[in-house]
Chain A
Amino acid sequence: MQIYLPIADLPVNVFLVLGMGLAVGYISGMFGIGGGFLMTPLLIFIGISPAVAVATVSSHIAASSFTGAISYWRRRALDIALAMMLLSAGIVGTATGVWLFTELRALDQLDLMIGLSYVTLLTIVGGMMIYESVQAVLRTRRGGPGTLRRPGSHTWIHGLPFKLRFKRSKIYVSAIPVWAIGFLIGFVGAIMGIGGGFLLVPMLIYFLRVPTATVIGTSMVLTLITMASATVMHAATNHLVDAVLALILMVGGVIGAQFGARTGQKMRGERLRLLLGLLVFAVGLRFAYELVVRPEDLYSLRYVGSG
């Protein structure tokens, strides 16, 4: 069944888009990430222009992270104070990212920059996650504790000043790394058109030692607020949000996320991190492949303007 998208200006198969929403929703529910880094490339692949894809995906991520956030809220598994702290810096990061995005677009090298940042970020983060989780899995195999005990793993980050106590997460950390992470997520999200959940979750775990119990819920609250405001900003400035496409994606996404979340809760933390690491790494490799291998068509068209 074909349906014509009013903003993207092309017909798509409803079931294909719904299926994509379900699949990405399942993965996002399972790992507690928005799934933008999967959905945006998928939409571009089926022929939707990158600008419309980025703008529309933000509303899809907002829907699935809201569902996720509600279910974590019911189980008291999120830290609102930490989320708000991250958010305050995240807004500054987003603004900086949007500014750089516009600058790069004027230079006609935005595609390359997006490709390169996907490759670098995804392969490094994915590689680190694989390494760490394989170590953890091996430790459990040998009969030791899966995760090292948190009090014993203080780093230089814990020596920084302006310490704050986040009761729900049971952590006592400096505000500096919290702000730095928030800024980075906002910045990267604006440049790459992603929510940044797959970056935020490992950073909160590794740098701030936020316990696994609250980390996903907290990340979802942050993603929800940034993506909902990104939707409004994209719609108000570029008029690129396709509500029809968004609706189909959302319906698939929220259903998929429910089932994903159930699978995710049954799995062991380190196994889950290993899977996510492999996924992130694979997407990174996919982008690297595109950059390195000779493209089928060396020429491409870009719409500049009407008239």
Chain B
Amino acid sequence: MRRLATALALLLIACSAGPAVAERLVVSLSNHRVAVTSNFVGEELVLFGTIEPDPAGQLRPPYDLVVTVTGPQQTMRTRRKQRMLGIWVNVDSREFVSVPSYLAVLSNRPVAEIADQETLRKLQIGLNYFLLPQRIGPDLADTVTDDPFRRAFVRLQRQQGLYRESSTAVTFLTPTVFRSAIAMPAAVPTGTYAIEVELFSQGKLVARTNSALEVIKAGFEQYVADAARDYGLLYGMATALMALLIGWFASVVFRRD
């Protein structure tokens, strides 16, 4: 069902975008690999790009640009507390299945001004329109934008800096050259990130392209994380031994008698 809807949406976009002759987007990322090392406190990447005219040499400014960055998928549960017998207990919860762990919607002006609601929904542009499927009984479905659990989920992710929507992150240096800053918080999950770049002119999608980046642990961090995952028992014994050594060392250093 979802696939059919996507196909339909793509068909509609293809129709609305007019003939295949259109502007082309050329983008480049300052860095395709974010290395999480022991002094990692977050990083800012820069995406540069230009708008190339269509084969007929036509350009139709002014343009609007939206960059959507999505991190590796994960499943999260949003829980709501309620007072029961005088204490606050988690009574209700919703599971958000296969949602991006990181989601940034970056644009040159508020997405609501770039295109109409219908287009935004079809293209899943903006935190309000991005598909966040919830498990409802046996089905998976996204609810209305103002569903309290969806709102709470987006709000909590925004507080962590993992979800963000910025209408100033994309800057046009000339009418056809742009740059966009992509901020990665310190708690950014590792994995592959997809970058979708969409170009609008007068509320219509005229071109799109994509890119990707990778967030990996590097150096000592990676060594420790790999050891913990692949050699759990050995890693545990090493940690326990380290505890004993430090304990013994302290008792020798601080010995009074």
Contact = CB atoms under 8 A, between A and B. Distances in A.
Contact of A70 (B95, B155, B187, B251): B251
B236 interface: yes
A111 B236 CA distance: 26
Given A63-B244, A304-B76, A232 B233 contact: yes
Interface stretch (A94-102, A167-175, A290-298): A290-298
A67 B247 contact: yes
Nearest to A73: B251
B228 A298 contact: no
A112 B84 CA distance: 12
A286 interface: no
B186 A11 contact: yes
B39 A63 contact: no
Given A251-B246, A299-B156, A4 B221 contact: yes
B58 interface: no
How many B residues touch the partner, as a band? Answer: 35 or more
Contact of A108 (B76, B79, B229, B249): B79
Nearest to A238: B232
B187 A9 contact: yes
A4 B39 contact: yes
A123 interface: no
Contact of B239 (A111, A235, A294): A235
Interface stretch (A151-159, A209-217, A241-249): A241-249
Given A6-B221, A66-B248, A11 B40 contact: yes
Nearest to A255: B250
A78 B229 CA distance: 38
Contact of B242 (A236, A250, A291, A306): A250
Contacts of A301: 76-79, 153, 156-157
A105 interface: no
Given A112-B90, A246-B242, A234 B236 contact: yes
Contacts of A307: 73-75, 98
B173 interface: no
B72 interface: yes
B242 A243 contact: yes
Interface in A1-39: 2-4, 6-7, 9-11
Contacts of A306: 72-75
A3 B220 CA distance: 12
B247 A109 contact: no
B153 A258 contact: no
B179 interface: no
Contact of A231 (B72, B95, B220, B243): B243
A303 interface: yes
Contacts, number: 192
A133 to B, nearest CB: 28
A234 B228 CA distance: 10
B243 A241 contact: no
B228 A2 contact: no
- Secondary structure class of chain A's binding surface, majority of residues: helix
B26 to A, nearest CB: 33
Given A235-B232, A236-B233, A6 B250 contact: no
A278 B83 CA distance: 29
A9 B224 CA distance: 12
Interface in B75-122: 75-83, 86-90, 93, 95, 98
B10 interface: no
A306 B72 CA distance: 8
A226 to B, nearest CB: 12
B175 to A, nearest CB: 40
A160 to B, nearest CB: 36
Contact of B248 (A9, A59, A67, A241): A67
B36 interface: yes
A71 B82 CA distance: 49
Contacts of A295: 81, 88
A234 B233 CA distance: 9
A59 B239 contact: yes
A66 B228 contact: no
Contacts of A229: 240
Given A6-B228, A63-B244, 14 more contacts: A11-B40, A11-B186, A231-B236, A231-B240, A232-B239, A234-B236, A239-B232, A243-B228, A255-B250, A258-B254, A299-B78, A300-B156, A302-B77, A303-B76
30 contacts: A3-B39, A4-B186, A6-B222, A6-B224, A9-B187, A10-B187, A59-B243, A63-B247, A65-B247, A66-B248, A67-B250, A70-B251, A108-B77, A229-B240, A232-B237, A235-B239, A239-B228, A239-B232, A243-B238, A244-B224, A258-B254, A298-B81, A298-B152, A299-B153, A299-B155, A302-B79, A304-B77, A305-B74, A306-B73, A306-B74
